[in-house]
Amino acid sequence: MSIPNLFLTVLSNFITIIYDSFITLLIIFIIINIFRIKDSNIRITFLFLPLLKPFIIIFEKIHFNKEYFVNRVAVLGIRLPSPAFFINRFEPFFKNPFEYSNLNDLIIFITILLILLLLLLRWLLLYFFYKNIPFKNYKSSSISEIESILINSSNILKVKKPILKLAIIYRFSPFIIGIKKPYIVLPIPLAVVLSKQEKEILILHELAHIKRNDNIISWAALILRDLLFFNPIAYITYFLIKHEQEKASDKLVLFCIKKDNRELAKNILNIFLKIKKNDYEDGKSIFNYQVSSFITSKFIDSKLLEFRVRSILETKKNKIYLNKLNRVIMVIFFIITLLIQIVIIIKFNNFYIFLR
């Protein structure tokens, strides 16, 4: 394979993966809107599809009849992946890379290996960065009050009380760290600014993330997004998952407490505005935490907050989760969406772009 053909092959694979993610995300939006799915767990599950399906594309070895395109430029259809696509695709990797007869195979192998090593280094640095945030022992009436709220909130949500760590940071938003034993990181100034009721809502919200295992889900989504670093749809999907996690935690809090929708929405809005105000006033902000943080992004669009508040106001406690029959139906749709490929094959001179 010549260098131009190698470039075209790699480019066509990138285009195919982006196309697959885009079509999958489009289908998800159609399913969510047709069935009016409000269950955030189902929505997040479906949002993982644009991050998962590209790996079927990457590992699948395609067989198609080129004679079919002698008098055709393109074809549109629907297909299922071959059951043995993993075995067929991984056959070349079973041999020693230095025994490759094709130089291009060796180049591709080394490139993939370097990318994986760089991504692994990124994940390790990210993990140690969050783990080694400077903490401080700080005793005051505000902190004692938060400890008391944490104990009470853990009982309400029926989760094991996590460790509360006070961080010497300028970023004015709490977040969750850890996988097996997650703990809540709380910037010290936050205890002074928020009212008792706002502290209760904030702690409940962070505990809801722990109860929902959002810390694990976030890491899984992050790893898949990074592996698809060239795919813009992967970044959009990751952002939507994070935003859906915030709404899901709000709904879980609403489901477990006696406060009404309007009161919860008001408290969340007040918390957001106070955090935002302190971010603007603090010229020393040097961190941008996004691991299960109360605010999805430092530069969050006001529209996202509007959607979040509206979601709380429109939520009915008895309709937060789907019943068992609807869940089974959604699982069937999930499997169908995962497997079925909308295929477009385009012939470009003697080169074929296989979109699916």
More confident: 282 or 169: 169
350 and 264 share a domain? Answer: no
More confident: 26 or 127: 26
71 and 182 share a domain? Answer: no
Number of domains into which the chain is organized: 2
**Phi and psi dihedrals of 185, rounded to 5?**
-100, 125
Q: Quote the CA–CA distance of 241 and 274 in Å, as a whole number.
A: 25
Is the separation of the CB atoms in 240 and 32 below 8 Å? no
164 and 221 share a domain? Answer: yes
Q: What is the DSSP letter of 163?
A: P
Say which residues have a Cβ less than 8 Å from residue 100's Cβ, sequence separation at least 6.
Answer: 92, 106, 109
% of the chain with per-residue pLDDT over 90: 19
Return the structure tokens found at 323: 């019943």
161 and 205 share a domain? Answer: yes
Domain residue limits at 28:
3-130+326-355
188 and 311 share a domain? Answer: yes
pTM over 0.95: no
176 and 300 share a domain? Answer: yes
Q: Is 233 a residue whose pLDDT tops 90? A: yes
117 and 172 share a domain? Answer: no
160 and 33 share a domain? Answer: no
pLDDT digits (tens, 9 = 90+) for 109-160: 787 889 889 989 988 888 887 777 777 666 666 677 888 888 999 998 889 8
What pLDDT does residue 194 have? 83
219 and 89 share a domain? Answer: no
Is the separation of the CB atoms in 45 and 334 below 8 Å? yes
More confident: 218 or 193: 218
pLDDT digits (tens, 9 = 90+) for 241-300: 998 998 899 888 888 887 788 888 888 888 887 777 665 444 444 334 344 444 444 445
What pLDDT does residue 287 have? 38
pLDDT digits (tens, 9 = 90+) for 194-212: 888 888 899 999 999 999 9
* Residue 78 pLDDT class (50, 70, 90 cuts): confident
158 and 272 share a domain? Answer: yes
> What would the DSSP string read from start to end of 106-153?
HHHHHHHHHHHHHHHHHHHHHHHHHHT--B-----HHHHHHHHHHHHH
Instruction: Name which of 2-16, 32-46, 249-263 the model is least confident about.
Output: 2-16
121 and 230 share a domain? Answer: no
pLDDT digits (tens, 9 = 90+) for 329-350: 888 989 998 888 888 887 777 7
Is the separation of the CB atoms in 13 and 58 below 8 Å? yes
Say which residues have a Cβ less than 8 Å from residue 138's Cβ, sequence separation at least 6.
Answer: 166, 188
| Cα distance between the two ends of the chain | 23
Return the structure tokens found at 14: 């990138």
More confident: 351 or 48: 48
Q: Is 50 a residue whose pLDDT tops 90? A: yes
315 and 347 share a domain? Answer: no
